[in-house]
Copies of this chain bind each other. A is one copy, B any other.
Amino acid sequence: METIKKSITSDGCREKLRAVHDTLDVLGGKWKIEIISALSFGKLRFMELQREVQGIGAKMLSKELRELELNELVSRQVCNTKPITVEYELSEYGKTLGNIIDEMIDWGMKHRERIKEQCAESAK
């Protein structure tokens, strides 16, 4: 175990773990990654966003969006329509999360395939 202990306590590993922690600090909670994923396909109004992020309540969505705005990941635009509408979109900085989202899409798709195959196997 000595080698392993040494490896994880090395500065490089500690720094990497801290980086994951920092990322999760910004993206933490049940919803933020899903909100960002939905916005990665283009701007959405509040109600549209609530429809896309299934299961989220209006109050929670509002809170999460405010936090994402504070971290400059999402921008909010009030449109001078009648009635007034509010649109949300990823900021340029928010778009830098694209790689994380892409990898999650990729993994989720493969995971679903794997589960399907396992179900097919066990049904044999």
Show the binding face of A for B, using Cβ within 8 Å: 1, 3-5, 7-8, 13, 15-24, 26, 28, 30, 33-34, 37-38, 41-45, 48, 52, 54, 93, 96-97, 99-101, 103-112, 114
Give the complex CA separation of A13 and B41 in angstroms: 7
* Chain A residues touching B, majority SS: helix
CB pair B26 A111 closer than 8 Å = yes
| Given A20-B37, A33-B24, A1 contacting B45 (CB threshold 8 A) | yes
A77 to chain B, nearest CB (A): 12
* 13 A–B pairs (Cβ distance < 8 Å), ordered by A: A3-B42, A5-B48, A8-B48, A20-B104, A20-B105, A20-B108, A22-B108, A22-B109, A24-B30, A28-B30, A97-B107, A99-B106, A103-B103
Q: Which residues of B have CB within 8 Å of A20?
A: 33-34, 37, 101, 104-105, 108
Given A19-B106, A20-B34, 4 more contacts at CB 8 Å?
A8-B41, A8-B44, A8-B52, A19-B104
